């Protein structure tokens, strides 16, 4: 196994751990996370429901990255999701330690998007 394969697997594992664990947490305990949901979205549905939907999306992205199913698409979705999360946090809470952490996760997702390694991927193309 080459170093690039190890780097690829560790990046996928890092993204998967964050997205799967937070996704499950948002589904199981949405009240803990609904505080972060922008209030203007409550006209669509309750913040609890939106948080659970967000959790399902995070879980799906995390599992796709972990299992190697369309890693490039999953990492693009993870990057997009993290851009919105970072923007929301900065707008509503200012620049803080959580934003810094989420920027690091965003960079990991973006680097995975540009990684051509497809080691242990179930779907090698897009």
- Spatial separation of the C-alpha atoms in residues 109 and 23, rounded to whole Å: 16
Q: What does the pLDDT look like over 81-101, one tens digit per residue?
A: 999 999 999 999 999 999 999
Residues 6 or more apart whose Cβ sits within 8 Å of residue 47: 34, 37, 39, 41
Q: Is residue 126 scored above 70 in pLDDT? A: no
Section 63-76 average pLDDT: 94
Residues 6 or more apart whose Cβ sits within 8 Å of residue 37: 47, 50, 51, 54
Q: What does the pLDDT look like over 11-65, one tens digit per residue?
A: 999 999 999 999 999 999 999 998 888 878 878 899 999 999 999 999 999 999 9
Q: What pLDDT does 122 receive?
A: 65
Please report which confidence band the pLDDT of residue 4 belongs to, taking 50, 70 and 90 as the band edges: confident
> Which two structure tokens, joined as six digits, stand for 16?
């998967």
Q: How many CB atoms lie within 10 A of CB 12?
A: 26
Cβ atoms 8, 61 nearer than 8 A = no
Query: What percentage of the chain reaches a pLDDT higher than 70?
Result: 93
């Amino acid at each position: 196994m080459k170093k690039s394969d190890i780097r690829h697997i560790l990046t996928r594992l890092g993204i998967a751990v964050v997205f799967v664990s937070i996704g499950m947490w948002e589904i199981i305990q949405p009240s803990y996370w609904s505080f972060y949901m922008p209030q203007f979205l409550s006209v669509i549905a309750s913040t609890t429901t939106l948080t659970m939907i967000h959790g399902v999306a995070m879980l799906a992205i995390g599992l796709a990255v972990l299992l190697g199913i369309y890693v490039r698409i999953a990492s693009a979705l993870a990057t997009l999701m993290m851009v919105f999360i970072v923007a929301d946090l900065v707008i509503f809470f200012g620049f803080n330690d959580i934003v810094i952490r989420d920027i690091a996760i965003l960079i990991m997702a973006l680097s995975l998007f540009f990684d051509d390694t497809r080691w242990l991927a179930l779907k090698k193309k897009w």
